[in-house]
Structure 1
Amino acid sequence: MIGMSEPQRPSPDALLAQARREGRGRLKIFLGAAPGVGKTYAMLCAAHERLKDGVDVVAGVVETHGRKETEALVKGLDVLPARLVEYRGREFREMDLDALISRRPAIALVDELAHANVPGSRHLKRWQDVEEVLAAGINVYATLNIQHLESLNDVVERISGVKVRETLPDGVLAGADEIELIDLPPADLIKRLNEGKVYVPEQARRAVGHFFSPGNLTALREMALRHAAERVDAQMVDYMRSNAIAGPWPARERIMVCIDERADSDRLVRVAKRAADRRGAAWVAVTVETSHTLTLPEADKDRVAAAMRLAAQLGGETAHLQGDDVVAVVLACAAERNATQIVVGRPRRLRLLDHFAATVTDRLVERGGAFNVLVVGDDSEDARKVPKPTAVQPEPQDWPGLALALAAAGAATGLGFAIDLWLSVASISVAYLLAVMVVAMWIGLRPGILASVASFLAFNFFFTEPRFTFAVSDVQNLLTLAFFLIAAFIVSGMASRLRAQVQASRESARRTVNLYEFGRKVTGAATQDDVLWAVVHHVADTIRGRSLVLMPVEGRLSVMAGYPPEDHLDDKSAAAAEWAWSHGKPAGRGSATLPAALWLFLPLRTGRSAVGVLGVQMSEDADLPSPAQMRLLETLADQAAVAIERTTLVSDIEAARVATERERLRSALLSSLSHDLRTPLVSIMGAASSLISYDDILGPADRRDLAQTVQDEAERLNRFVQNLLDMTRLGSGTLKPRIDWADLSDIVGGAVERAARLTRSHAVKVDIDPDMPLLCVDAVLLGQVFFNLLDNACKYSPPGTGIKVWARRAADHISIEVADQGPGIPEADREKVFDMFYRVGLTDSQPAGTGLGLAICRGIVEAHGGTIRAEAGLHGSGTAIIIRLPLPPSPDVAGEEA
């Protein structure tokens, strides 16, 4: 029971937080509202106190700003030499992070935690340096002004008109182990400013008229006090959880309001909100889901959901709790959250039995001795009226269930007559108890109670003396009947509760299976269309209605998928979808925004961004989703958003890959153009210039050499341009071989003759099968293949080595091989060398190529229906380019077929 001194264990979150702090330094922040309040002075005073205790203290960085009192305190400390960083011709002094970690003091002093480091430092901000110091196990004393918090940046700018450039995340302050607030009234701070103890006189006069005005300082002081109080309160809650203290500790007001299906639940929320505002307290609205919750009418479920939405809209926290013991669950939650006041509604006793049973409110007041319980009266018009007996309408009954209850009592009576032939009268009651239990488990509580009463009367009428009357002559039989009636009521109640729990378990299992099936569907979907179809189909099946997904297309929401198929929305629904998309909150039918729409829209958001909107429309018999359906829809929407984002990320990755490949090809093309165009042009221009400038002193041999240079470089340039043209034709599909009969020896011989100047330093050997048949090929294109292969072999083979062209006829193809004695191609690159602009990085001394020659070879060979590949040469030396062409039919056969 809550409130008793029973042993408790620390929460798993508290234990995990303690484990994370093992081996990590502790951070203490001296927090001030504005510059000049004395943060650095207080930090140095604290350091001297620790120094007197024998603690190793090092000043990592301390900004004195020329203040004599501060400088005097620094002199007694071990100061770490600053690291000089040069930036734009100037030297800046920064904290030497590596030296501080190597020094490993017990406490490091780091001033101005939000300071931005000079570009070129390891971290952008000083607080990131401190994180590394803490991770090394060194304790840190640091200073911080409240205006440097990132979340307050815009607020400070509105208050003071000054944009604070140096900020740090709020999590740094929230993660501090200790905070010491350095406070100074605005009048005293302005006095210090005028005395020159903060800034120089001229700068001080400007500051008083702008940032350091009394109003600005008061607002900043309030923010500093509030954040310090919140941090201290959070530390207190962490301490209570880590030490398993049940609480509450009324150090700060916390209000919890309990919501149920009563009609005035929204009024309870407003009362809690006003009470929290008056006290400046945090507040939370909770509702407890029991096995009885599933049997509530849809109107009651909607009332609970509406009250919880109202609490969220008013800025309160909401929590859905589970458990059959409502009082124990509420008190446990209140103890965990350190609530000091619980707001509940006044119980309404409309029936006679209610006056003899303790309500949830009564038990909460009785058992919640450690908490203040505020009971709010019902201010509705119905509550102020005195109920009249005649005005109470009988609740609708389940007549088939009641009839079955009477039938079960009748069947038990028939069984009782059979039992009466062999056993005593007391044994007959077991048959009636069995009937009561079956009715309560299968039908419900009310039919079970009716079966109990009917069984009691039947047992009395038919089986107790005197029989066939309701009179009881024997006292023993009277006790039997009394105990039977009590047992029947207890059995019916327990069986009914078991039935409700079974239904709740089935509902929970159905939700789990629903989420599992949905996760399996969206995980297996590969494309965005498949994911969207799985989402709308599953959601529509879950709510037994209609669903659709809208996503932004060119700045406007468009229907991307719907089930049943839907591609148009009315104006009201479209407006609700736009609002849900832009504000990230539900809108449309059943919500607080644009409820006149025909659809309810839920935003699809992830931690990264919003991806779309999910629209649902219930079937005609259910106008709005139930609270359970609403929670399931929100969960499905979260999973759908993650699945859609996954496909979007895949598309982004593919687009980035294509862009990277395009950029690589662009860079390779520019590199090729810059080298293979510029080099021959420079040679041609140099030779032509020499012919013109030194015509009178050049001999015939020199002129011939220069002319030869011009010709060679022009042919080289022509080959490069031809390769580009051939590659363009291959890419566009316009390169079509002109097939004709040709002799392979003539094709290879022509290529060797064209490459004579390139192969002057190599011995080219041609070995072609004498029985090689004529080939049905484009002789010009195939000759270009052999020329490119010879050119490539000459580039990457050392001078004096040989190049061999070998060709043989096989059973169904012709195999051709061009082998060199160069360094060879690594196995991993043998397929890539046929890609455009791909070049193997071998040695710097080898000439650079364009990476087009082998790509053109592959295109021409494949256009002839053949294949080309690169392999290692003989005995693993050099490279062998192997071409395989299909064996053509003989010319005679071809002529006959024609």
Structure 2
Amino acid sequence: MERGQLRVYLGAAPGVGKTYAMLAEGQRRAERGTDVVVGYVETYGRPRTEALLEGLEIVPRKTMDYRGATFTELDADAVIARHPQVALIDELAHTNVPGSADDKRWQDVERVLEAGITVVSTVNVQHLESVNDVVRQITGVPQRETIPDEVVRQAEQVELVDITPEALRRRMAHGNIYPPEKVDAALTHYFRAGNLTALRELALLWLADKVDDQLERYRADHGIAGTWEARERVVVALTGGPEGDTLVRRASRISERTRGADLLAVHVTSSDGLASAATPANLARQRTLVESLGGTYHQVMGDDIPTALLDFARGVNATQLVLGASRRGLVGQLFSRGVGVTTVARSGPIDVHLVTHEEIGRGRRAATREGLTRRRRLAGFLLAATILPLLTPALAALRGHLSMPSDILAFLIAVIGVALVGGLYPALAAAMAGFLLLNYYFAPPVHTFAVADADHLSALVAFILAAVAVSTVVDIAARRTHDAARATADAEALSTLAGSVLRGERALDTLLERLRQTYGLTSVTLLEHRPGTSLTLDRQRDPGRWQIAAGVGDEPCATPDEGDADIPVGDGLSLVLRGHQLPAAARRVLEAYAAQAAVALRQQRLEEQAEKARPIAEADRARTAMLHAISHDLRTPLAAAKDAVNRLAEPDGARTEADRARLTATATGSLARLDHLLGNLLDVSRLQAGTLGTAPQPLAVEDIVPRALENLGPSDHHVDIRIPDGIPELLADPALVERILVNLVTNARHHSPTGERVLLTAGSHADRVEIRVIDRGLGAHPPHHERTLRPFQRLGTEESHAGAELGLTLARGLAEEMGGTLAPEETPGDGVTMVLSLPTAAPSASHERESPA
């Protein structure tokens, strides 16, 4: 029997409309004559969802008893027995009641699919196994019900039911998802705007991966090797040369012309890893540049560079390939077309850009490959000079017993021995000497260089050719062995460097000390060119042009000329090594260390600058706040108090007692407001100066809130307090918490319309206690939220609310002083929610809460 198809509606959170979309599809299919049944649907009492069940056949659920309670579950057997064309089964990740035939509902669905029935189902992204831990980190709510990603990925169709976080929160506030008594708790916990935004992004990214998988699967099933320009992907090839920066920037500009294009950089290394012209410092810098431009860096192996580049480009479905124009001179281009021209000829539908750069015509720096040491070569020459004079009389004495081929074979063995000891050049010298000795002493007529027999001449020529060939092979093998040993040492050094970076060891001195120990150096110095001096004259010798940025070991170098090795890093830095001469092969590793040292120095300088700028910025912010206060809010109460006092001082005339009482109240209220403002200014000053002491202690929210509202006077009836049971104690200074709450409620009352009450709620989240003060004013758009905490920046939909008071700025400063935060949050509809988050007195016991269904 043919397996049924699975169609899944994926949602970022509960309430986005997955079940509604599933039922709507069922109604459409039923209208077209398809046999559709409802296997299991959970409407949660939502009227519009329940309305879509009308006219659809519902398969009865099976009833199960567990621990004294009765539950209803999907009856998969009944669905299979009914055998419709399409079954609607909600909540694919649901866990069945113990005792069911299957543990999970997706396993029930698998049986229904095997019966040849098409299933339409729903699932939330937080239930996918691969993102389960991420969701817990974001929301603080563990997910007990999970489903393997592969189950959903194997669905023939996955459709995202998308809705913006703001729209979902409005739907929640209107009571379309949960009953009214659950709305406030949901909005302040799981359905925070930040949580919903993160979950939505997870859902979009997960679905994008599935779409890519479907595209790749389709291309593979249909044998499509060509590029499909479904999305622009720009690949830039890096050789490790200095021109790579130009190529990366050019490729970035190309990708930016198409919105959503991907940028990928690739470097091809030889498969044996022993020979490379790439400069590690250049590659490290270019990788950083690529990643800073939003691209990714890749490294592949291949002996044929054009083939490796095109294989990579086709593998990532690239549409454009950026290469640098050849650096070889005219002579070099005569013998080979080069990578660029070859790649263009083989590229097919991939557009290839050959970018000009300053390095054209300067040639490529060949990889440094050392052969055997000088001592080995001298030993080879010495062996040749010794063994051939000894071998010749020995063979001459046996002339009557050995034939000419035997003599040639003996000399060939001697040449191979010389090649093993001294390499190619001593072996070539031994081969030529052996040819002459064989000709003179053993080829008739002897003691002459004439050869009478053509066979002997052929044998001598074969000897010289064989000797040269064997010497070359032996030398290549010796070089390869040496290169392999060197590559192993380089790899170990680079692995150590990479490990230190991954472990976060970014301290410059630590990095330089590691380099000094690796190569047994006396000192390692990072020199920096002094600003305002020229790099062109006496660069190496003038100490006045250099300053020591960092150094380890004894006797640091004052100029690059004092060291045994000098590794320039850019135009203004140089890594100078002292102790002994280093082999040229170590240059690549040293360049990698130099590049990392430059990055570490730059990071150290940035941290120092940030540390110096922080108190200046804080002081400037404090001064700005005070100036705003003095220029704005002081003026209003002073003017009101002055006017009231002046009018009271006028002759009584026709002024009634009621007028005198009103003017007195105005003056008193203005002076009280002035006193409150001056108190806030003094507290802000103490905060900035670090002289405001705190005495944290455990506080119960239900105790501290009423005490704070008592300070508001008889008008506290404008505040609704909703504090649920079970809120843990917070750790804070009681006086400061009261001051924060007074400022928050005062600000909220000031901006609430007449007749609207301020709502104060509390909750806990991830070992934090959160107190929310919600007003129903004009609100503030999310881009303006941060401005609401600056002095006198309480914004609504119009700018008419600018100039409130310093209370919010002080409240945030007091919260941060106690290790807490104060942040605005959008309120569904109009208004602004100020969220005060403070640490709990003790970490709450680990307990799991079920996420909303």
- Whether the TM-score (by the shorter chain) exceeds 0.5 is no
**Highest Rg: 1 or 2?**
1
TM-score by length of 2: 0.42
